[in-house]
A = this chain, B = another copy of it.
């Protein structure tokens, strides 16, 4: 189970982790000024997740919301016979867990070791009441995720296996550039199975498509979890938007 490693200490003030938070500028908290952030931090706890650990399951009551500060996660749903669909991947700075339904509709699991900031729902909502600009930010986040989900509908409904894999690599490249790496160097934190379940394919097809892209000198496989895009313009043309 996930373990809370540091309850927030109100007296820490300036050296509170939030102030040094690597994702503060790109995440929900970005709209808060330092005094507001101070009050916001007081309702959050840091939670560490080992690779594969579950943060919340489909059907769980939505007890808290989270910001992912490091690592990567997946949102997935299982059908009764074991088929799985991954609705999205989450990276540093992403926000998760907020829903208007009375239960989570997807399961959130850590892909690699991850750290999230946990905000109990009631206290989060109370904070929202006093900070309308944060509510607006929240709407912007939801609208952006809606746009991404609808884009994924096009991919799943109408694209070929090749187009799916190429689109996925380009998305990864724009979302998750390898830290300090060269341009077009892409980190691939998830397994081939995760990729397959995100793209509506089987693992063998993903593997074959990657091999084919390698053979065509469009990508270079620098490891199972890293690769390089060798011809982004041609890849973009192959992705069909």
Known contacts A101-B147, A136-B135, A153 near B80 by CB under 8 Å: no
The 3 lowest CB-CB distance pairs between A and B, nearest first, are A157-B200, A156-B156, A149-B149
Question: Which of A80, A140, A156 has the largest number of chain B CB atoms within 10 A?
Answer: A156
Q: Are B147 and A145 closer than 8 Å at their CB atoms?
A: no
* A234 proximity list for chain B (CB < 8 A): none
Task: Judge whether B240 and A80 touch: CB under 8 Å.
Answer: yes
Q: Is the interface of A mostly helix, strand, loop or mixed?
A: helix
- Chain B residue with the shortest CB-CB distance to A201: B157
- Across-interface contacts of A146 in B (CB, < 8 A): 142, 145-146, 149
Known: A100-B139, A142-B146, A145-B146. 4 other contacts (CB 8 A): A77-B150, A132-B132, A156-B156, A157-B199
A88: nearest chain-B partner, CB-CB: B150
Number of copies: 2
CB-contact partner of A106 in B132, B138, B150, under 8 A: B150
B-chain residues with CB within 8 Å of residue A101 when the two chains form the complex: 144, 147
Taking the closest CB of chain B, its distance from the CB of A161, in whole angstroms, is 13
A26 within 8 A of B: no
Q: How many angstroms from the CA of A149 to the CA of B143 in the assembled complex?
A: 12
Which residue in B79, B132, B138 is a CB contact (below 8 Å) of A158?
B79
Contact partner of A156 among B80, B153, B240, B241, CB < 8 A? B153
How close is A75's CB to chain B, nearest CB, in angstroms?
8
Q: How far is the CA of A166 from the CA of B100 in the complex (A)?
A: 26
Say whether A224 faces chain B, with CB atoms less than 8 Å apart.
Answer: no
Q: Shortest Cβ distance from A31 into chain B, in angstroms?
A: 14
A136: nearest chain-B partner, CB-CB: B135
Chain B positions within 8 Å of A81 at CB level: 240
A172 → chain B, closest Cβ, in Å?
18
Residue of B nearest to A138 (CB): B139
**Binary contact readout A53-95 vs B (1 if CB under 8 angstroms, 0 otherwise):** 0000000000000000000000101011101110110000000
